Amino acid sequence: MSHLSQLKEHESTSRRDFSDLIKNNEHLANLIFYMHNIYEQIFNGKVGAPVHEKLQNGCKVLEVCCDDGIWITEVATEYPNTKFYAVDFTLPNFSNNIDNIIFIECDISKLLPFPDNEFDYISIKDKFMFINDDAFRKALSEILRVLKPEGWLEVICSYGTDAVHGSEYTRLDSAWKSWLRVQNVDLNIRANLENYLQETGKVESMSHRIVETPFINDHAFGEFMMEISLLFYRHIRNDLAPFINLSFEEFDNLVKNAVSELNDKDLKVTLKHKQVLARKKSTNSNEN
């Protein structure tokens, strides 16, 4: 595709719904796989909320933004007595042969197709954050609506730090953040997630944990993080390249140079991973 036709295509699609970007494609599927493995390692398991006994005995679990279904299929296999539900913009591209999982396709930024107080445990990962501020608040309200009183919510997400970056990486990162602002996405949602939850007035016993992983090849997670960075920018290439008036070839070179800068140990570039746990207040607590 020529640079001119690339720009024309961008102009014709730039006003599309932001959710299009976070629907699954090949690059996103690979990115999700890597992040799933990293989260499991740094947060010591697949389930961080204190719900293991309930899962063993049998309860109801919802995963919001199930992506390719990696997390929910692994956990559902481990806890066969529990009924699992997963919602996302699009359904995973595989045949579900696990009896205790139901996949449902729906717009997660709107009403969830469940009654009030339905789930004992709800798990959410990164993609849930990639909607605009109003949609995020509405979706959060819906999630708390379907969570049972005294049920647990677990949210895991990743976001960059304010560390000093190289010039190419800074250019790429600034372009990405500018594009998000154009889409009316609140860049502070991840960092301020606890405040969003607290403002609802519906949660208690909230805690969080933050782990930082560096983008350096000699670190245990370095190779993973470098690959994740490449996959991420490949995923957003079709949107970001025309946004900053670059051809795809020029954008690919920018990404290559930016990723090379991440190997500079003096820059100390890291990615933050946050795990937030919160329990929904009991009916009596909400009345008080």
Residue 256 makes CB contacts below 8 A (sequence gap 6+) with none
Which whole number is the average pLDDT over 141-148? 96
Give the helix/strand (H/E) hosting 18.
none
pLDDT attached to residue 264: 66
CA pair distance 179, 90, nearest whole angstrom: 23
pLDDT, one tens digit per residue, over 80-106 is: 999 999 998 888 776 778 999 999 998
Is the CB of residue 264 less than 8 Å from the CB of residue 231?
Answer: no
CA pair distance 229, 145, nearest whole angstrom: 35
Q: Spell out the domains of the chain, with CATH numbers in brackets.
A: 3-282 (3.40.50.150)
Which parts of 143-281 are beta strand (E)?
147-160, 203-214, 270-280
pLDDT attached to residue 220: 57
Mean pLDDT of the chain: 81
Share of the chain above pLDDT 90, in %: 41
Residue 157 makes CB contacts below 8 A (sequence gap 6+) with 125, 126, 128, 129, 190, 193, 273, 274
Is the CB of residue 276 less than 8 Å from the CB of residue 193?
Answer: yes
Structure tokens at 254: 């920018």
CA pair distance 124, 62, nearest whole angstrom: 9
Predicted TM-score (pTM) of the model is 0.83
Q: Would the pLDDT of 32 be above 80?
A: no
Matching residue, tokens 């946050």 = 274
pLDDT, one tens digit per residue, over 40-71 is: 888 989 999 999 999 999 999 999 988 888 89
